[in-house]
Amino acid sequence: MKRRKFIEQTSLFSASLLFTSFITKAIKKPNPTILLVSGWQDVNIGDIGHTPGLLHVLETFIPKATVILWKKSKGEEVKKLLNKNFPKVKIIYGAVDSNKEVENPEIMDVFTKADLMVHGSGPLLVGADNLASWMKHTTKPFGVYGTTLENPSKYHQEILQKAAFIYTRETKSIEHLKKVGITGNHVQFAPDATFFMNIRDDEKGNAFLKANGLEDKKFICAVPRLRYTPYHKFNPNNNGWNTEKIKQVEETNEKYKEIDHAKLREAMIAWVRETGNKVLICPEMTYAVDIMDELLINPLPEDVKPFVIKRGYWLPDEAASIYAKAHTVLSFECHSPIIAAANGTPCFYLRQPEDTIKGQMYYDLDFNNWVFEIDKTTGTQIADRLREVWKDYSKAKANLKSRMDKVENIYKERTSFLHNILVKKS
């Protein structure tokens, strides 16, 4: 018997549920198995955070499901992090070749066992080949959870047209899908799963705070970012960029790095001088460690510098522990504010126009007052908003809670649709 036939015949299907132009088959299993493809890279605590965030969504709202993680990146530290916090989740690895065949036989066995495949949060359909292999070898349902789908390629469109559910991490992606004819009730907004990340390393975090004299809610965090992540500097193949692309990236970063970070420094200076409290400069990506001094510390006035501390690269569990203790997190990166919000800490997103459409999710979740389009924002405006937060912190915390309640309700509602597919509930 061919492998494909074997997998199809061993799958348990019930009556078909029609959703616009496609059919999904509900599985009569009290304890279903979900195959999650996620974990795109390990040089960014935001990208790392997608995976524990979605694992927590699944364990919270589909608690009887067994989840198997098909992880793309192979960093050992991140694997240990996930094993520690999700000991019941089996992690598998394996590439997909040009014929959409998997190179690890274990994955074929997982295809047999799993009832549903889910593509995790990310900047695009990063796991397209993984989904295509699932489609080739099974007829079981799959979908996308909290992913940006800006201008999807023809290849990605062909996959998405057969998805049982498509949850975009911001509403602008829904507009992009409409332009290529992908519509229906199965296309909905579900924010980046990092919003539900619940892992922390309080032991390591508290030790760092104590060693640096950082007191609970008496310091802010500042996170730098260049207009374009310089992937060509730490990717062996220059991230696939040609000479012209690299030139554009470097010239753009050089042009705006001081203009952008001067605005963040203005808020830092106001905080230090008016509250007498400290600032922690910290990274979201590995490369940020190398730009902290140049952009956020060295240009500061001499009276402010003694109040500033910096942190090397870390994993998201320690970052979460630090952000939980911070007063406010101000970040050019998209995911540090999300991790802060998940831990009850007010957060500002200083949004650079080159940072894709993903920032729309902040507006979709009513974070408007804490989003600053950096080309249209002055440092004084950021400082003034920060001042509002520290002068009425209870109001800021209450506003944040209402927004995070909205996030949880969205996750609950969207995941109920997955649950319906798995246990045949109408």
Percentage above 70 pLDDT, the chain = 92
Predicted confidence (pLDDT) at residue 348 exceeds the cutoff of 70: yes
**CA gap 420, 25 in Å, rounded:** 10
Scan for tokens 């730098």, then name that residue: 224
The answer on 365 and 311 residing in a single domain is yes
Instruction: Tell whether 398 is covered by a domain.
Output: no
| 183 and 248 co-located in one domain | no
DSSP secondary structure letters along 303-342: TTGGGEEE-----HHHHHHHHHHSSEEEESSSHHHHHHHH
Q: What is the pLDDT of residue 22?
A: 32
Residue 129 belongs to a domain with what CATH number? 3.40.50.2000
Residue 56 covered by a domain: yes
Residues 181 and 212 in one domain: no
- Is residue 402 domain-resident? no
Domain that holds residue 105: 3-196+407-423
249 and 324 in a single domain? The answer is yes
Per residue in 233-266, pLDDT tens? Answer: 877 777 789 999 999 999 999 999 999 999 999 9
Q: Helix, strand or coil for residue 297? A: helix
Q: Which of 2-16, 30-44, 78-92 has the highest mean pLDDT?
A: 78-92
Task: Classify 277 in phi/psi space as left (phi over 0), alpha (psi -120 to 50) or beta.
Answer: beta
By C-alpha distance, which of 322, 303, 301 is closest to 311?
Answer: 322
* Cβ proximity of 359 and 373 under 8 Å: no
Mean pLDDT of 89-109: 95
* Residues 162 and 234 grouped into a single domain: no
What confidence tier does 225 reach under pLDDT thresholds 50, 70, 90? very high
Task: Tell me: do 27 and 158 sit in the same domain.
Answer: yes
Would you state the pLDDT for residue 8? 41
Mean pLDDT of the chain: 92
Quote the pTM value: 0.91
Q: Are residues 33 and 166 in the same domain?
A: yes
- Average confidence (pLDDT) over 334-340: 98
CB of 72 closer than 8 Å to CB of 127: yes
Decide if 400 is inside a domain. Answer: no
Residue 221 belongs to some domain of the structure: yes
Each residue's pLDDT tens digit, 164-184: 999 999 999 999 999 999 999
Structure tokens at 337: 């504010």
Tell me: do 379 and 267 sit in the same domain. Answer: yes
Q: Which residues pair with 25 in a beta bridge?
A: 16
Question: From the centroid of its chain, how far is CA 13?
Answer: 33
Asked whether residue 314 is domain-assigned, the answer is yes
Pair 184, 42 in one domain: yes
Same-domain check for residues 221 and 290: yes
Instruction: Indicate the number of domains in the chain.
Output: 2
Question: Band of the pLDDT at 420, cuts 50, 70, 90?
Answer: confident
Q: Could you report the per-residue pLDDT of 316-336, keeping only the tens digit for each?
A: 999 999 999 999 999 999 999
Positive or negative CA dihedral for 263, 334, 359, 371?
negative
**Is residue 218 situated within a structural domain?**
yes
**What is the C-alpha to C-alpha distance for residues 293 and 281, in angstroms, rounded to an integer?**
9
Query: Does some domain include residue 331?
Result: yes
Q: How is residue 274 written in tokens?
A: 């008016």
Same domain, 225 and 287: yes
Mark whether 168 and 233 lie in a shared domain.
no
What's residue 257's pLDDT?
98
